[in-house]
Each structure stands twice: as structure tokens, then as C-alpha cells.
A and B are shown apart, each in its own frame.
Chain A
Amino acid sequence: GQQVMQIPQYQHVQEGEDFTTYCNSSTTLSNIQWYKQRPGGHPVFLIQLVKSGEVKKQKRLTFQFGEAKKNSSLHITATQTTDVGTYFCAVSTSGTYKYIFGTGTRLKVLA
């Protein structure tokens, strides 16, 4: 079945440092989604990537979809304390509507 791994599992950074999390799949993906979940909260949808090699930006966040559509990354430039939370990717394989979440990367930002 579909397996999605995220690395790293945890990341502590000083405020102002950059942060990157990676999502890797064992199979080719139709698309990939990224979410942020604050402690005690629910996941909040950030973005969807569909095309091979696609790059999208949201202010300090840069999302990239791999050329082979098997991996993706989320990069945050100059982290802020408001970036604290767990970042999840979610994927579906072609022909299904099962959206499977990755294991998540928990980000802590030290002021």
C-alpha cells in the first residue's frame, strides 16, 4: 500500500534560521498537499502541488514537487515563532480518492 515518509521527524531552529521538511513516497503520486497543525489544533490546508517539478511560494514558504512526482519539500525562510507546529504532507495515488498523511515534521522555533 501507499507509504509516505517525512524527514526529519523533529526540528529545532533558532528564530531567523531556515527550515526544510521532505516528503517521500514509494510510488508515483497524482498530487501532494501540505498542511500545518498547531499544538492542540486541527490541520490547516496550505497548498496543493500537481505538476512534475512544480514550485509554489506563499510568502516565506516555498513548496516543490519532484520531477518524478515521488517526493516534495517545504522550505521556510527566516523562521518565526508563529511557524511552530507540525507540518504534514498528504498524498493520493492515481485513480483513488484516499488521501494518506505523512508522519509529519514537528518544528520548534527558539526565540
Chain B
Amino acid sequence: NAGVTQTPKFQVLKTGQSMTLQCAQDMNHEYMSWYRQDPGMGLRLIHYSVGAGITDQGEVPNGYNVSRSTTEDFPLRLLSAAPSQTSVYFCASSYREEVQPQHFGDGTRLSIL
């Protein structure tokens, strides 16, 4: 039981490049979400999903896409990276949508040059 696994742990991109941040959980959790955390700041919700095939926007969805084809995986796509997207990205899960995010991955530290 690995919990929530995020890859990569670190990434440097150039402006305009695209990439996918991976998130996988092996706890059969229905609810998954993506947050970004800027230095010294709180976490801001990007997108969330209440189950396979169902996604919705959070507070700061612009510039990001998500999909949920399986219960286990919830990848986050940056379409055209911008310096403002430099941040630490956390994926989280919980066993149902009424329950707050309980399990977080270790994060992906992303720098956009």
C-alpha cells in the first residue's frame, strides 16, 4: 500500500512547454484533487474529481487540464507552461467526496523558466 504517489518529484520546464504531472493512489479512493502551493502560501485547489469520468474546476483551473479515466489515476496537464505556474503541486485523495482530502502525495516541485 503506497498511498498517493506523485511523479516526478522535481521538474524544470521552459515557457511554452507542456507536461503531465502524474498522481496515482492504491487505496480505491473516489475523491482526488490537485492543489498548488506557492512559497509561503496556502494551498489552492486546481481541479478535483469525485470518481472515474467526473472532474470539476477548483479555484485556479486556468492553464491546467485533468482527466479521470480510472479510479487510481488523476493526471494534471500543463498545456503551455508559464513562469506563473512555478509552484509545488500536491495531489490528494479521500475515500468519498464528503470526506476532506486525507492523504497527500509528497508533491512535485515545478520550475518554469
Chain A residues close to B by CB (< 8 Å): 1, 31, 33, 41-45, 48, 88, 90, 92, 97-104
Point out the residues of chain A lying under 8 angstroms from B90, CB to CB: 42-43
In this complex, how many residues of chain B approach chain A with their Cβ under 8 Å: the count is 26
The answer to whether residues A88 and B31 also contact, given A31-B100, A42-B107, A45-B102 and a CB cut-off of 8 A, is no
Point out the residues of chain A lying under 8 angstroms from B33, CB to CB: 99
New contact pairs (14) apart from A97-B97, A103-B41, CB-CB < 8 Å: A33-B100, A42-B107, A43-B101, A43-B104, A45-B100, A45-B101, A88-B43, A97-B50, A97-B56, A97-B98, A98-B59, A99-B100, A101-B43, A101-B45
Q: Please, how many angstroms separate the alpha-carbon atoms of A101 and B48 in the complex?
A: 14
Q: Please, how many angstroms separate the alpha-carbon atoms of A99 and B44 in the complex?
A: 9
